[in-house]
Amino acid sequence: MFHEIVVLLFIFLIALIGKNDLVATAGALLFVMKFSPLSNVFPFLTERGIELGILLLTLSVLTPFAAGDIMPRDLLSTLKSPAGLIAVFSGIVASYLTGHGVELLRSRPEVMVGLIVGSIIGASFLKGVPAGPLVAAGLAAVLIKSLNL
């Protein structure tokens, strides 16, 4: 049990240093859950947590359509502009990478810590913004496969 505590505290601390509130909150919640009856949810989160997160993210992204904030004419104008076409292409690439990221995280969950550390370093020292872990995992998956690691 000691190593789980150390890892969760490490994730929490590097997230605080990197000012990544979502990762810090997740680390803190998992730490509290570890010492409560809520630890019974860990198998569910391990098995279905990524899908649940993707569902919530997808709901968030599609809500403007359901709310009527984005109209069909908005979609058409997006497809007619160079910036809109680049955005569509970027969405396709990000979705492709995310698919590979999900598979990598399922097959090799240990890479998550590296993704978090890399995101925090990029955000803290390169003035970047922490990328979504699934997209970062997708990029890692493509590189790992390309390098036969």
Q: What is the pLDDT of residues 28-80, one digit of tens each?
A: 999 999 999 999 999 999 888 888 988 998 899 899 999 999 998 988 998 99
119 vs 63, residue with greater confidence: 63
| pLDDT above 70 for 4 | yes
82 vs 23, residue with greater confidence: 82
pLDDT value of residue 67: 96
The mean predicted confidence, pLDDT, of the chain is 87
Letter for the amino acid at 44? Answer: F
**Encoded tokens for 72:** 């069909």
How many residues are present in the chain? 149
Q: From CA 97, how far away is CA 141, in angstroms rounded?
A: 8
Cβ pair 100, 111 in contact under 8 A? no
pLDDT value of residue 131: 66
pTM of the model: 0.68
What is the DSSP-derived secondary structure letter of residue 127?
-
Distance (Å) of CA 25 to CA 8, 16, 33, 72, 145: 11, 9, 12, 37, 32
